Each structure stands twice: as structure tokens, then as C-alpha cells.
Structure 1
Amino acid sequence: MTPFKQEDALLQNIDDNDEEIIYVSKSEIKRDAEALKKLGVELTQLSKNELAKIPLDEDMIYAIELAQKIKKEGYRRQIQYIGKLLRNRNIEPISQALDKLKNRHNQQNALFHKLEQLRDDLIESGNAEPIMALYPLADRQQLRQLARTAKKERDDNKPPKSARQIFQYLKTLTENE
């Protein structure tokens, strides 16, 4: 083989390899790194109990706990370090576990809004039937008495003590189900 043919063969081989290389722009790399840092920030905002529910190794847990203790510039650098650690890991299980935690929080908020609406309807109308339909074990007499007291407190511009008691009672009913 002549030197020119060897060079042509090498160039042909390089051209074949170029097709396999996937070009990633610098901007895309930066966006990915920024997304990992945001994930790191979300992880640092979790409590110890919530962190225990997320599949993390010892290094990540240590880095996150350290970031929770640090303030200002050191915190920013620690978040960058957490992002760097996340680049070398499969983040899919981590983000799924984080989404489950967020969803449970959203479900709890939705339940509280529902209970607040039930309480407000009870105070306005004095009708305990919708609550009795949802929670058959509820004490109708206690609900009506609390509703009357709450309405009187609201009309007299007093603190809503009875309204809070209704909410707590409804909350205990949902927990007992």
C-alpha cells in the first residue's frame, strides 16, 4: 500500500467514526449542569427523614448535609460540587423519589383545602349532611354545635377558635379512615 492509500484509508476510518460521535453543544452541557444544580438545591431543602427516602449513597448524603449547614458563597460552591457528583450518577431514581415526596405534599395540601371547604360550607349553612356522607362516623351534634359557635365568633369578630376545632375534628376523621 502506498503512503497515500494508507492516508486515504485512515481518513475513511476517521469519517466512519465521526458518524458515531454525537455532538453536544457547550450550551447544552451548561443547561444539563444547571439542571443538576437545581436538583441539588431541591435535595438540600429536604429534611433528614425525607432524605432517607431518596436512594443516595454516602458521599451524596454527606455533601447534602454539609450544604445544609453552610451559608452564602460556601453554599454556592457546595451546590456546584453536588451537581458534579450528580453528573456521575443515575439521577432517574433520585428524581422519581423526589417527585413522589412532592406529590405526597401536594396531595396533603389538596386534602387540607378540601377540609377547609367542608368547614366553611358547614359554618355557612349549618348543614352537616355533606360531612356525614363522607365520614359516617362523624358526630353530627358536635359538628352542628361547633358550626353555630364558629358562626357566632365570626359575626362578633372574635378569633376563629371553633372553626379551628372543626378543621381539627375533620382532620382526625380523615386520619381514622
Structure 2
Amino acid sequence: MSRLSRAQQAAHDEPLDDEASPAAERPSKTQLKQQMHELQSLGEALLTLPAARVAALALPEPLQDALDEARRTKSFEGKRRQMQLIGKLMRQVDPQPVREAVAAFRLGHAQDALALHEAERWRAELIAGDDALTRWMAAHPSTDAQQLRSLVRAARKDAVPNAAPGVGQRQGRAFRELFQLLREALARAGDQGADHE
């Protein structure tokens, strides 16, 4: 076997075309590891979804069984190993529908929390002053004004002005009913707004 000169060796070692090189097409070890961690995290997020939403994804049976087993597993080490298995099984599934389902579920929770906060804010404003009642009726004309006024009056009456805030202070039935009325009205307004889009 003949020895190659340095120039020949360098020319022999260089790939003719970067695109033709198999190393250029493969992801690095770091990228592969990152992808595996992302799939494992996505599998963990699947555990937060209700069973009906997971069933709607039509996941392969081994992955579904692994998710069920992870829900039952209590020990830290057992849970960790089960999550590794789920990450491995996630490689066989198209992750995009799973990502979309998890994102939609999280968005729904965030919207629910915002709606509750808005109802609480309106309730506090309505109890604090009469100008809020006018603003509410302008924004939500379909609300039963008589029922709303009655609940606001009763909630104001239930509030004890001399009571110390904090422990032991309990709100009356009208306070809770006012919240329910506001939350339902806000939900109807949100549904109507979604229908018009």
C-alpha cells in the first residue's frame, strides 16, 4: 500500500460536497438529547390532561399503558423511570397533535382563571359603589337589573363594616350568588363574542 502525500491526504479527507456528507445530515448528540428531553417533558404534560382528552389523541397502546402506570406510580424513582419510558415511547408518535392538545388545555385553564378574576373584580366594584352598577348594565344589558340590584344590596348588607379583616370573616349567601350571576353573565358575553368572530 502506498503512502499518500499530505496534499493527497488532505484532499482525500475533505468531503467533495457539504450536502453529500452524512455527518451534515445527522443531528448532533446534543440536539438528539435535547429532543429526547423535550419529548419526555411533553409526556409529563400529557399526565396533566384529563383522560378524555388523552383518549381523543388516539395514542398507541403501549404509550397509553405507560401513562396509566405513571399516574399510579407513587415512588420518586419509579416515577422517574416511568417518565423515561414515556419519553422513549413518545419518539414513535407525531408530537405536534400532542403539543396542540396540551397548549389548548393550558390556554383553557388560563382563560378560566381570568374569567374568575374578572367576576371577582366586578363583584368588589359593585359592592363598593353605585357607579359600577351603571357601568355593568351598559356593558351587559341582557343582565336582569332587578336581580342584580337586589343581590348587590343584600351583599352590602351582609358585609360587616366593623369586623376585622382576615380570620373569621365570612361572606353571606348574597355575596356568593352575586359572584355566580356575574360569572354566568361574563361567560355568556364571552360565548357571544366568540360566535361573532
Same fold (TM over 0.5): yes
Aligned residue identity for 2:143 = A
Contact 2:151 2:178 in 1 (8 A): yes
Any unmatched runs of 5+ in structure 1?
A: none
Q: Deviations over 1:33-59 (max 9, x none)?
A: 222221111111222123234352332
Q: Deviations over 1:49-81 (max 9, x none)?
A: 232343523322221112111112222111110
2:78 corresponds to 1:67: no
Q: Deviations over 1:115-155 (max 9, x none)?
A: 11111111111342222223322122222222222223333
Query: Relative to 1, partners in 2 of residues 1:3 and 1:96: Cα closer, same or farther, differing over 3 Å?
Result: farther
Any unmatched runs of 5+ in structure 2?
A: 164-168, 190-197
Partner secondary structure for residue 170 of structure 2? coil
Contact 1:45 1:68 in 2 (8 A): no
2:179 corresponds to 1:167: yes
2:115 corresponds to 1:111: yes
Query: Relative to 1, partners in 2 of residues 1:94 and 1:14: Cα closer, same or farther, differing over 3 Å?
Result: farther
2:39 corresponds to 1:36: yes
Q: Which of the pair is proportionally richer in helix?
A: 1
For 1:125, the equivalent position in structure 2 comes to 129
Partner secondary structure for residue 45 of structure 1? coil
How is 1:1-177 mapped onto 2 (pairs within 5 angstroms)? 15-16=15-16, 17-18=20-21, 21-22=24-25, 24-72=27-75, 73-126=77-130, 127-156=132-161, 157=163, 158-161=169-172, 162-176=174-188
Contact 1:56 1:94 in 2 (8 A): no
Contact 1:37 1:79 in 2 (8 A): yes
TM-score, structure 1 as length reference: 0.80
Alpha-carbon distance in structure 1 between the residues aligned to 2:60 and 2:187: 34
Contact 1:53 1:97 in 2 (8 A): no
Query: Relative to 1, partners in 2 of residues 1:101 and 1:55: Cα closer, same or farther, differing over 3 Å?
Result: farther
Partner secondary structure for residue 109 of structure 2? helix
Alpha-carbon distance in structure 2 between the residues aligned to 1:84 and 1:118: 48
Identity %: 29
Larger deviation: 71-80 or 150-159? 150-159
Contact 1:54 1:94 in 2 (8 A): yes
Aligned residue identity for 1:89 = V
Aligned residue identity for 1:154 = A
RMSD of aligned Cα (Å): 2.9
